[in-house]
Amino acid sequence: MNKETVIKIRDVEKTYNETKVPVHALRGISLEIDKGEFTAIVGPSGCGKTTLLNIIGGLDRPTSGQIEVNHQDISQLSDNQLIDFRKEHIGFVFQSYNLIPVLTAKENVEFVMLLQKRDTELRNKRTRELMAAVGLEDKMQSRPAELSGGQQQRVAVARALAPKPSFILADEPTANLDSTSTNNLLDIMARLNQEEEMTFVFSTHDQRVIDRARRIITLEDGKVLKDEWV
């Protein structure tokens, strides 16, 4: 049975011209990522990992090339259209958690659903389910400062999953976590990947993440050096 392709990248280039010498962050990247993948993008610092993730997620625009998400060429969308598209289709997990400090864990998780104008009952149900899935049902009313780093990152994962996006982009999600928190987080992500067929794409240096990935895309100098299924 053919897999559903959720991300299609064609000849993507990204050049930054802020300095006298242009920086070629991405050089002709072409990739396809299917629904249900658990994929790690790896490579040395400066190889283009985060730039590629930001372009896939519509946080940055390519200098040239095409990015299709669910058959929509997002490189052709206006800024406002891109904001709306991200809100409906793409979940993000960042290294620094990016939780809103004045909101409780529950309010952080349901925030995007609130922007989507989802029904209150639906928001509450989805939030309870996800907080239970990440093992934090007893921390619903805690604010980020009252949670450990590992707990904050689990809230961030629940928030990313809340609007039922097409895929999750995770940029160095374990960089600030100890081994126990990292393993707990990866267990949760792997379970959600298996049970909900949620697609995860990681940018990472962390060998613990790489060991869990089923596909490893290695970048070097802005190009795909290797693309391996493991």
Q: pLDDT digits over 173-223, tens only?
A: 998 888 999 999 999 999 989 988 999 999 999 999 999 999 999 999 999
With 70 as the cut, is the pLDDT of residue 17 above it? yes
How many CA atoms within 13 Å lie on the side-chain side of 166? 21
Is residue 48 packed enough to be buried (19+ CB in 10 Å), middle (13-18) or exposed (0-12)? buried
The share of the chain scoring above pLDDT 90, in percent, equals: 83
The answer to whether residue 228 sits within a structural domain is no
The answer to whether residue 127 sits within a structural domain is yes
The answer to whether residue 11 sits within a structural domain is yes
Neighbours of 157 (CB within 10 A): 25
Q: Give me the pLDDT at residue 2, please.
A: 63
Q: Give me the pLDDT at residue 40, please.
A: 98
What is the total count of domains within the chain?
A: 1
The answer to whether residue 158 sits within a structural domain is yes
CATH code of the domain containing 98: 3.40.50.300
The answer to whether residue 89 sits within a structural domain is yes
Q: Give me the pLDDT at residue 20, please.
A: 83
Segment 144-159 mean pLDDT: 95
The verdict on pTM exceeding 0.75 is yes
Q: Give me the pLDDT at residue 64, please.
A: 96
With 60 as the cut, is the pLDDT of residue 121 above it? yes
The answer to whether residue 33 sits within a structural domain is yes
Q: Three-state SS string across the chain, please?
A: CCCCEEEEEEEEEEEECCCCCCEEEEEEEEEEEECCCEEEEECCCCCCHHHHHHHHCCCCCCCEEEEEECCEEHHHCCHHHHHHHHHHHEEEEECCCCCCCCCCHHHHHHHHHHHCCCCHHHHHHHHHHHHHHCCCHHHCCCCHHHCCHHHHHHHHHHHHHCCCCCEEEEECCCCCCCHHHHHHHHHHHHHHHHHHCCEEEEECCCHHHHHHCCEEEEEECCEEEEEEEC
User: Vertex 40, ends 38 and 46: CA angle to 5°?
Assistant: 160
Segment 81-103 mean pLDDT: 93
Containing domain of residue 187, as a range? 5-223
Segment 22-32 mean pLDDT: 95
The answer to whether residue 211 sits within a structural domain is yes
The answer to whether residue 229 sits within a structural domain is no
Instruction: Judge contact between 190 and 212, C-beta under 8 A.
Output: yes
